[in-house]
Structure formats: structure tokens, C-alpha cells
């Protein structure tokens, strides 16, 4: 059975991984990594707060709280470079899990579809 809160926590973990990768790129002098680091950090903080609200929400309000988490996940998705298409696929899966959607079958990235 899908667990939207577990997927929300995975989404936050994924944001942390993105943040660490971007921080490493910024330390190496890659541009515009400093701005990307800042955006990932802000999204991570917002995701953490939204997840806490969802965890503490009564059952009848949890869906609305999880919708806020999913919206932040979509912001993270839109911030990913298109060259990281595989990462976008993972984010799609996490966001759909936060929404409680039925798990989807894996699909090839757009660049491989004919």
C-alpha cells in the first residue's frame, strides 16, 4: 500500500542529495551553481516544514498538507536541468507517491522515446 508520507520524506532526502551535489559544483567554481545551491536549500527548508505539517495534520486535513508537499516537489522538478532527465523521472515518481497516486510503470526518458 502506498505511503504518501514516506514518499514525502524521500522527496526531502532527494532534495538534500541535489543540494549536496550543487554545493560541490559551487565549491569547484561551476556557474551558476551558487544560485542553484541557494534554491535547493530554500526548497529543502520549505519541504521539511511542509512535511512536518503533513505529519501533524489530522487525517481529514492530511491530503491538503500533502498537496503542499507535492507542489514544492514540482518546484524542485522544474529547477532540475533538463540534462538530468533520469533525475526528473525519480522526482515524478516521488511526487506521485506523495499524492497517493497508483505506482506507474517505468518509462524511458523523453529523449529516448521515438
| Lookup: cell for 49 | 516544514
Residue 49 falls within a domain, yes or no?
yes
Residue 110 falls within a domain, yes or no?
no
Residue 35 falls within a domain, yes or no?
yes
Residue 107 falls within a domain, yes or no?
no
How many domains is the chain partitioned into structurally? Answer: 1
Residue 103 falls within a domain, yes or no?
no
Residue 104 falls within a domain, yes or no?
no
CA 81, chain centre distance (Å): 13
Query: How many CA within 13 A on the CB side of residue 5?
Result: 11
Residue 106 falls within a domain, yes or no?
no
Whole-number Å distance between alpha carbons of 89 and 96: 11
Tens-place pLDDT, residues 4-57: 999 999 999 999 988 888 888 788 787 677 888 899 999 999 999 999 999 999
Picking from 93, 71, 98, the residue whose alpha carbon sits closest to that of residue 7 is: 98
Residue 102 falls within a domain, yes or no?
no
Domain that holds residue 43: 4-96
Containing H/E element for 74?
Answer: helix 59-79
Tens-place pLDDT, residues 74-91: 999 898 876 765 677 667
| Lookup: cell for 47 | 519541504
Amino acid at each position: 500500500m502506498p505511503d504518501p508520507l514516506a514518499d514525502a520524506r524521500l522527496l526531502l532526502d532527494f532534495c538534500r542529495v541535489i543540494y549536496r551535489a550543487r554545493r560541490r559544483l559551487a565549491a569547484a567554481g561551476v556557474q551558476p551553481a551558487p544560485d542553484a545551491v541557494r534554491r535547493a536549500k530554500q526548497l529543502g527548508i520549505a519541504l521539511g516544514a511542509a512535511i512536518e505539517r503533513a505529519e501533524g495534520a489530522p487525517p481529514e486535513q492530511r491530503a491538503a498538507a500533502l498537496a503542499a508537499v507535492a507542489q514544492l516537489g514540482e518546484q524542485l522538478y522544474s529547477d532540475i536541468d533538463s540534462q538530468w532527465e533520469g533525475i526528473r523521472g525519480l522526482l515524478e515518481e516521488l511526487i506521485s507517491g506523495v499524492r497517493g497516486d497508483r505506482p506507474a510503470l517505468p518509462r524511458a526518458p523523453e529523449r529516448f522515446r521515438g
